[in-house]
Structure 1
Amino acid sequence: MQTKTEPTTEFVPRLGLLDATMIVAGSMIGSGIFIVSAEITRSVGGAGWMLFMWLLAGIITVIAAVSYGELAAMFPKAGGQYVYLREAYNPLVGFLYGWSFFAVIQTGTIAAVGVAFAKFTAYLIPAFSDTNILLEAGFFRLSAAQLVAILVITLLTYINSRGVKDGAALQTFLTIIKLVSLFGLIICGFIWGARSDIWEANWQNAWSLSSLTLTGDQLSYTPLAGLAAFGAIAISMKGTLFSSDSWNSITSIASEVKRPERNIGLSLVLGTLVVTIIFILTNVMYLAVVPLKAIAFAPSDRVGVVTADYIFGSSGTVIMAIMAMISTFGCNNGLILSGARVYYIMAKDGLFFQKASVLNKNDVPGYSLWMQCIWASVLCLTGEYNNLLALVIFGVLLFYILTILGIYRLRWNRPELPRPYKAPGYPFLPAVYVVIAFALAVLLLIFETRYTLPGLGIILLGVPIYYVLISRQGKA
């Protein structure tokens, strides 16, 4: 008879619809809503274009989420997107996703959010700034901010190694705080901070697609046309899509959700819809409170902090920094909780370290969690927030496209599979997502080459690794 201290290999369903929805929403709401509007505004210039970037990201995220509901209902098991790609195509495609997920997608996102947590912590405690270099040896530099990011990732990994209920309870608690805080910020902004003169000034060149530069106190507009205009849109969408990403994290832990064939799809719809509305309202509030120049050139891109200063004065900036810290802390908790389940399923398939296929005494994949922690910590040392963001989003888009196309493929090749839930608007809505995401991926490949090419190289590196693993299985 198995005792509680022995490792197990099967997950136990412990999470309800509220837990699942909070994991979706909490994994989405991280640092992006407080930061990326600055880069977007610099890239596209007008308030109208800035809001449109957020709206477009929200629309395609919701389309993807409701489409994923069909796959989640068909395969209500741990592993999420890895399983969907394996079943829709073949084990190689599934492995390329899982390999990229570990190498850069999930771990890179965890690192980027950890760096963002440190960025806001440094606002309250300047000693934790990325300018405070603790160690320098040749090309290697360790800053206080990087160390903070690594420590937070380690702490959250430990919490999640204690059991899924502990991780989910923390996620629900932090997500509720984030939702209430953001709604409160929006309401306070419209009531106490909004000014008609700022709103009108921000909308004067709302649909003039231009790049912004600041010389002294003088704001300059450079009109964009042709390929340059598409490049600006792609760079902007990089930020909005990253801010809205990780909505599919709940699919990775489907085996631990009660009634997954119902609750996974429903949590995807509820979580993405609520967060999309919040993100759009937050940016409308920014435009009603803060001049466009102050949004575009906020110190360290901390638009949220600047906005709080306009609403509440100097004390508001402290409140906003704390809000952002809570937000990024909760976001990383959801990412760490869900990510390790993918490596667990890969290990069960013989395509990852075998230790990752074992659950610890708390019924969670402890080895997977700590492997993820170590590699995400290494990535914290490799770049700044925006660099990590660019490295991650290209691979994310490629695999989202393949997964949505997998819906068509499974409908054609495996019509006999039970489909308790079907993608609404099929075949039109999933096709809309594929077209938009493909166009953005191509534009990022053109305009963010120094990040997207390494990302593509990491994905392709998985091909020889896969065949090495398969040959070893054959020998075994």
Structure 2
Amino acid sequence: MSARTTQSEPAPVLEARHAIALCVGVVVGAGIFRTPALVAANSPGDAEFLGVWLIGGLISIVGALCYAELASTYPHAGGDYHYLERAYGHRLAFLYGWARLTVIQTGSLALLAYIFADYLTALWPLGDGAAPICAAALVVALTGLNWLGVQAGASTQLWLTGLEIVGLSLVIVAGFVFAPEAVSETAIPSEGSLGLVLVFVLLTFGGWSEIVYVSAELRGSRQRIAAVMIASLVIVTALYLLVNWAYLRALGLGGIAGSDAVATELMGGTFGRPGAVLISLLVAVAALTSANATAITGARTAYALGQAMPRLRWLGRWDGQRRTPGNALIAQGGIALLLVLAAASGRDEFGLLVEFTAPVFWGFLLLVGFAQILLRHRHPDIERPFRTPWYPLLPALFCATNAYLLYSSLMHTGASALLGLAVVGTGALLLPFLDSRKRR
């Protein structure tokens, strides 16, 4: 009985270093190479520009402290799906699982695949129409890699995250040591608000919550997840502060705001063509690192969905030999491929996929924040290996932040956002046909 259980469900096989690599890797994607220009354009001065990155890191740590309580109390491969089911019931949880499978994770995977393909084809021109082919090939490759087993995916993540950190360290060294210091200039006029700047910054910090999807596979005590999450975000915050400080020293606030590729400008201006090539490789590695982490965590939600829905039970089969949700990985990869092909017909694949995923993502993250408060009230006596400090102040701050980001994403997105919400709505129509469980 024990051996069979070990083979048919997630088991603690991952070390803390694997979990930290997954969290850091999924957060430090291509955003840090795109977002600083938007933040600088809406910042009145140097101190505000750097300060908002520190604020973004602290707000993310607040969210991690809330999530750590849920993950240590209810460790499960379904992560948010499991928390939402406990707090609101199976119907809302199904909509979340459906959203992850059709919009959030698959859309993110397609988006990251396009970023990787864009930079790869910029380095090695492969002709018109090569980017969608490269993006599709990456989705297939990452799906196959993680289908081989959790150790293959986790070990690859460890190495990719290491390369990513080394690459960002080179950018930091270039900005502080080799690049000439920018001539000080008058602060550029800005009408941007702190709230708008925080939207850009928190989007760049987004993804840290993905670590809860391997909480049931993490070795050690249940409260260990809190240390992993905090350590990961401290590393990310330090990297972001140093990178942006390096940008600021080399280019100045106006130079950052006026650049479409701030890292390329820094490295290219310092080292010439080799520096520009190096930064393109770094962005490609960052996108690849985040895409692999996205594939790992997304498949676990699909697995939890299959466990809960009898007519989707094929998704809920855990491969005991490979210790991975093989069927869920294949389904996720197939949907991501469809999104890659759909985005190929548009002019701005990046913008379309961001609009498609953002409102759905922030909306459900807000519901998870409320779920912590609800479950505290409903189950006051349950063992909680880790408790969020300063409760309920920190959960309230987390919910308020997510509510603002949801509002902003709805106000600044177009038809693609409505399409993403419509896809989630189809889940409500399908639920009666997929859920065949008898009710008491």
**TM-score for both structures, normalised by structure 2:** 0.91
**Alignment match, 1:119:** 118
Q: Determine the C-alpha separation between the residues in 1 that align with 2:140 and 2:385.
A: 39
Q: Determine the C-alpha separation between the residues in 2 that align with 1:376 and 1:238.
A: 26
CA contact (8 A) 1:343 1:352 kept: no
1:287 aligned to 218, 237, 248, which one? 248
AA aligned opposite 1:314: R
Kindly state the Cα deviation for residue 473 of structure 1 after the two structures are TM-superposed: 3.6
CA contact (8 A) 1:9 1:357 kept: no
1:128-150 residue CA offsets vs partner (Å, 9 max, x unmatched): 6xxx1xxxxxxxxxx21111111
Q: Determine the C-alpha separation between the residues in 2 that align with 1:239 and 1:385.
A: 15
Unaligned ranges ≥5, structure 2: 344-348
Quickly say closer, same or farther: Cα 1:54–1:448, change in 2 above 3 A: farther
1:170 aligned to 139, 144, 156, which one? 156
Is 1:275 the counterpart of 2:236 in the alignment? yes
**Alignment match, 1:140:** none
Root-mean-square deviation (CA, aligned residues, Å) is 2.6
Kindly state the Cα deviation for residue 253 of structure 1 after the two structures are TM-superposed: 2.0
Q: Determine the C-alpha separation between the residues in 2 that align with 1:326 and 1:196.
A: 28
Kindly state the Cα deviation for residue 191 of structure 1 after the two structures are TM-superposed: 1.1
**Alignment match, 1:93:** 92
1:177-197 residue CA offsets vs partner (Å, 9 max, x unmatched): 211221232122111114141
CA contact (8 A) 1:254 1:260 kept: no
Kindly state the Cα deviation for residue 419 of structure 1 after the two structures are TM-superposed: 0.4
Is 1:458 the counterpart of 2:417 in the alignment? no
CA contact (8 A) 2:146 2:152 kept: yes
AA aligned opposite 1:459: V
Please show how residues 110-259 of structure 1 align to structure 2 within 5 Å: 110-127=109-126, 132=128, 143-197=129-183, 200-201=184-185, 204-205=186-187, 208-209=189-190, 224=191, 229=192, 233-234=195-196, 236-259=197-220
Q: Determine the C-alpha separation between the residues in 2 that align with 1:179 and 1:64.
A: 23
Is 1:382 the counterpart of 2:342 in the alignment? yes
Moved more, 119-128 or 363-372: 119-128
CA contact (8 A) 2:247 2:266 kept: yes
Please show how residues 29-68 of structure 1 align to structure 2 within 5 Å: 29-42=28-41, 50-68=49-67
Is 1:409 the counterpart of 2:369 in the alignment? no
Kindly state the Cα deviation for residue 423 of structure 1 after the two structures are TM-superposed: 0.9
1:357 aligned to 310, 316, 319, which one? 316
Q: Determine the C-alpha separation between the residues in 1 that align with 2:271 and 2:362.
A: 38
Q: Determine the C-alpha separation between the residues in 2 that align with 1:166 and 1:359.
A: 16
**Alignment match, 1:336:** 295
Q: Determine the C-alpha separation between the residues in 2 that align with 1:238 and 1:103.
A: 24
Q: Determine the C-alpha separation between the residues in 1 that align with 2:386 and 2:356.
A: 34
Kindly state the Cα deviation for residue 426 of structure 1 after the two structures are TM-superposed: 1.6
**Alignment match, 1:138:** none
Quickly say closer, same or farther: Cα 1:195–1:78, change in 2 above 3 A: same
Q: Describe the SS at the equivalent of 1:195.
A: coil
Moved more, 183-192 or 410-419: 183-192
Q: Determine the C-alpha separation between the residues in 1 that align with 2:414 and 2:112.
A: 22
Moved more, 254-263 or 410-419: 254-263
Q: Determine the C-alpha separation between the residues in 1 that align with 2:49 and 2:351.
A: 18
Q: Determine the C-alpha separation between the residues in 1 that align with 2:342 and 2:251.
A: 33
Is 1:438 the counterpart of 2:403 in the alignment? yes
AA aligned opposite 1:109: S
Larger strand fraction of residues: 1
AA aligned opposite 2:30: S
Is 1:427 the counterpart of 2:392 in the alignment? yes
Aligned length: 432
Quickly say closer, same or farther: Cα 1:190–1:178, change in 2 above 3 A: same
**TM-score for both structures, normalised by structure 1:** 0.84
Q: Determine the C-alpha separation between the residues in 2 that align with 1:184 and 1:432.
A: 35
Is 1:373 the counterpart of 2:333 in the alignment? yes
Kindly state the Cα deviation for residue 153 of structure 1 after the two structures are TM-superposed: 1.5
Is 1:309 the counterpart of 2:268 in the alignment? yes
Kindly state the Cα deviation for residue 409 of structure 1 after the two structures are TM-superposed: 0.7
**Alignment match, 1:418:** 383
Q: Determine the C-alpha separation between the residues in 1 that align with 2:228 and 2:2.
A: 33
CA contact (8 A) 1:70 1:419 kept: yes
Q: Determine the C-alpha separation between the residues in 2 that align with 1:144 and 1:311.
A: 30
AA aligned opposite 1:29: V
Q: Determine the C-alpha separation between the residues in 2 that align with 1:45 and 1:380.
A: 38
CA contact (8 A) 1:24 1:247 kept: yes
Q: Describe the SS at the equivalent of 1:126.
A: coil
Q: Describe the SS at the equivalent of 1:261.
A: coil
Moved more, 455-464 or 342-351: 455-464
CA contact (8 A) 2:312 2:434 kept: no
Q: Describe the SS at the equivalent of 1:381.
A: helix
Kindly state the Cα deviation for residue 455 of structure 1 after the two structures are TM-superposed: 2.9
Q: Describe the SS at the equivalent of 1:15.
A: coil
AA aligned opposite 1:457: A
Quickly say closer, same or farther: Cα 1:183–1:352, change in 2 above 3 A: farther
